[in-house]
Structure 1
Amino acid sequence: MNLMSRMRVALAAALMLLLAACGGGGGGSGDSGSGTLRVALTDNPACGYDEVVVTVNEVRVHTADAPDSDPGWRSIPVNPPLTVDLLDLTNGTLLDLGQTLVPAGTYTQLRLVLAANTGTLADRNWIVLSSAPGVKVPLKTPSGQPSGLKVQTSLAVQANGLTDVVIDFDACKSVVMAGNSGQYLLKPVLRTLPRVETGVIGELSIATATAGASVSLQQGGEVRRATVADANGLFKLQPVEPGEYTLVVTAPGYATAAVRQVLVSSGQLVRALPAGQRIDPPASGTAIFAGQVSITPVPAEIDASVAVRQKLSAGDTITLVDRPVNAITGEYAHTGLAVDAPIVAQHAAGGALSFSADNGAAGNFTVRATTGGASKTADHLGVSDSDTVDQDFVFP
């Protein structure tokens, strides 16, 4: 983490202590009808960006979906506002936003309130494209920004207790290109997770990590948690909810790797593979998947995403990429997807993994477009090195 990031973390920690001193500490207030809510921020990895920066003003919670003026809203102010690069918050890194004392109960609405940019300036929310290092591009926040980015949740605050929650801000899915003029929108994909020491750790080969590998835990092809490895190839997926997962590693120019049936128990950091063993997929040919999503009647902004998936011979469905389409044109282009056989291993707690090529899955993909509650899929079999797969989708 760079110096600026460490300063931001220190600022957040100081803020948390100040709030606690003002009566925000759990269990020590003597108010049997109240408990403490503490909120932190984390991120899944972004793609194609060197920075994804937002400025946080406040976190608000309510027991119901109430109007902004309702007196039942409880606030965790972030003062001064905290400017944070979401890409610093991967590999299990959490940034504390603060805590406050709230009446006991179940809170079903959470809002993350961001500061708005000043006019057209990229002074509070911006991105830096990997293709244009050092150039800040303003990130346009939603029109309803004053009320905050909305998250449906279920946070049970017990009297004299501490409820710890993490806001998972998926930067990769939240940044959307709008047209071809260089404008980018923030269409936030947020969810809440319990703050627990539960997850999966492991190592990739240095070559795979350096290539920009993404590591994810998936269930039924849905990504539940994702990260990037550090410079030494180490990765940590945490916090995650207990359950059984498929661990998936993708990197441009390398075959996909999958570890099946990784069982994660509450309060446990599971090793994906023994210390000293690294996931080291072979080089692979790649293909491009591109096309357009069209919606009738034509909306002002197209809110859709396109995923490329693969089904392993053992039955697991895995997602290689899932990104939003251009909000104006509906176009998408997923590049660098491995077409050679994925390598697959069965998880063995405490034992070495034995990877083998899944030749039955080589070159076989499903492309899925999703908008609102509707989705459409198309199968593409026998995709080879350097192929460009054209796939359009028309809704309704």
Structure 2
Amino acid sequence: MASATGAGTSGLRETVRGLLAAHWRAEHGYSVPNPGTYPHLWLWDSCFHAVLWAKLGDGRAAAQELDAVLAGQLAGGMVPHMRYGGAGPDTWLGPLPGTSSLTQPPMFGHAARVMSDAGIQLSAATLARARAGLDWLWENRRTPEGLIYVVHPWEAGNDHSPRWDDWGAPGRTSDGYSRSARTAWNKERMAEVSFSADGAACWSTSFVACPAAFNAYTAFNLRELAAITGDPELEARAAALAEAMDEQLWDDSEQLWSDLAVVGGGPSVSIPISDGVMGALVTADRAKARAALAQLADPARFGAPYGPANVARSHPAYDPDTYWRGPAWPPLNYLFQQAFRRQGMDDEAASLAKLTEAGAVASGWAEYWNPDNGRGLGAVPQTWAGLVIAMQQ
């Protein structure tokens, strides 16, 4: 993918359009994140693709991406985190032949909001399916205290995060990190997951957690869908979830939202990661939001030349080159910017957009990159790096 350095906004847009088009699979109706590394559909990736197509003015492709996400919805309402295509199914993801049995951050509410704001007509069926997906989380994945839980690290989106270290996962940074060992451990955890009649994962005997970021994403998407449907119940659920986060997950010592261990786990749930800022997307507490967001530009915490590091740079777990152990991630930066804008922090939002653009271009439009030098990591190029165009003012 050619660099867009110096090409301005129009050059960025054409670069991203070309990236999405090169990864488009007409027979499936979606763009794959990366044809070699990620040949399937992933829930939040395709939701971000819908956002990008909408920003590029292609309502047809945006609608196809969002409908492709929701086409995998199970009978009970869960939206799977993967639909298989290309290379065939990953059978260790559950009992279903065409999709995984796990879910992922429900970014379809936000995708629908962006599309609606762009003047793209959403069908009643699409909106109903998005509502059913959020209903499923609310009705099937909520603790008695009102938080949303996940039953596998893959569901959280940050599957190799140091916050999961105390579940017995191998490859701690202090021991010499091994991504392959951690991936094997994640696969083994599927043997402890139980499933409902429609194939949806419902519990685990070894790993259950209430991640701060996943709760924030759910509340955010409830609110986004409510904004276009006018549904007061969705808005009330978003407010209740945000309040539960503030009461149960706010870590005053770190000035971040931390995760809660339900089955397994330990102190690692409080390791300072940038995902702990995501409560700023939904909290009604302005002081908490600003205290967390301020850390994204602080070099002693997450601040770095190519966008926020995923782990506090002063923490022993920080490794800027290792998957979910320190690199900068374009989808997180995009969501941080959403939080900045919600808090009226427009200068900070604009600054983050520039850092993210610099990282995307320097990395070759990578899946993630070293926040200190912009070196591309993971799959290169990856479609969600194109979120830089959605961050432009």
- TM-score range with shorter-chain normalisation? under 0.3
More strand by share: 1
Query: Given the two structures, how large is their TM-score scaled by the length of structure 2?
Result: 0.23
Hey, which of these two has a bigger chunk of helix by percent? 2
Give the TM-score of the pair, scaled to structure 1: 0.23
